Amino acid sequence: MSLRATARIVADADGGLPLLESDGPLALRRTRTTGPYTRVTVVGAMSAPLGGDRLAIETEVRDGARLLVDSAAATVALPGRAAEPAAYDIRITVGDGAVLRWLPEQLVSAYGSDLRMRTTVELAATARLVLREEQILGRHGEETGTLVTRLTVRRAGRPLLDQELAYGPGAPGGWDGGAVLAGNRATGQLLVVDPEFEDKPVEPRPLTGNAVLAPLAGPAALVTVVADDALELRRTLDEALGILAPS
């Protein structure tokens, strides 16, 4: 039987969490942190997403709030009994003067799985965002499943980024070719949106390994990485995080 679950987070400027609602395999825990952020950790309560599951996390960061969301372990997409793909939706709203650091662990696409992941972010004009995505295509020694991810970000009601990526069986041809992954099995990106970039735009440049830092048409920068494995991917993204948003 397929799962339907939606977890919800609401963060206030005073550090409070007026809503922290777990559901199904998505267990939310307030965890300790140093610095100015309220921290919420997503803890997987069971194996998910499986084929046919419909999971979602809804997050509202109210005006002036500072929220860090991470996860206790990687999310592993697995095959299930249902024939239809699994769906995992992340829906985020960040208010004026608010800051969200969205830093989950990797998403692993296991052999035979089929997942559609959608992240949608609505930012106020003075909001700041740090968002990391990491995809590992197959566990050790196995081929990848099918994975389609889409990231859509709007700032002050205007489009900032709308990007879709597809890997594995059923994806458009060439996804593993020299112009895309070139045989690598780890890929990811870091998106940083900061109003300060309006006066001091980020300069494009290559980073360690197969990675590039590029400014977007707005106060934002996007780092895109392909790597041999999860360790190399995280090391490169951590380097980028230290450059663009160290705290």
Specify if 45 maps to a domain.
yes
Query: pLDDT averaged over the chain?
Result: 93
Instruction: Please give the tally of structural domains in the chain.
Output: 1
Show the domain range for 171: 19-244
Specify if 11 maps to a domain.
no
Specify if 14 maps to a domain.
no
Specify if 13 maps to a domain.
no
Specify if 121 maps to a domain.
yes
Specify if 119 maps to a domain.
yes
Specify if 1 maps to a domain.
no
DSSP output for the chain: ---EEEEEEEE-TTS--SEEE-BTTEEEEEE--SSS-EEEEEEE-SS-PBTT-EEEEEEEE-TT-EEEEEESS-EEEB--SSSSPEEEEEEEEE-TT-EEEEE---EEE-TT-EEEEEEEEEE-TT-EEEEEEEEEESSTTS---EEEEEEEEEETTEEEEEEEEEESTTSPTTTTSTTTTTT--EEEEEEEE-GGGGTSPPPPEEETTEEEEEE-SSSEEEEEEEESSHHHHHHHHHHHHHHH---
pLDDT values of the chain reduced to their tens digit, one per residue, 247 residues:
678 999 999 999 999 999 999 999 999 999 998 889 999 999 976 666 888 899 999 999 999 999 999 999 999 999 987 778 999 999 999 999 999 999 999 999 999 999 999 999 999 999 999 999 999 999 988 999 999 999 999 999 999 999 999 999 978 777 877 667 888 899 999 999 999 999 999 999 999 889 999 999 889 999 999 999 999 999 999 999 999 998 7
Specify if 29 maps to a domain.
yes
Tens of pLDDT, residue by residue over 136-145, are 999 988 999 9
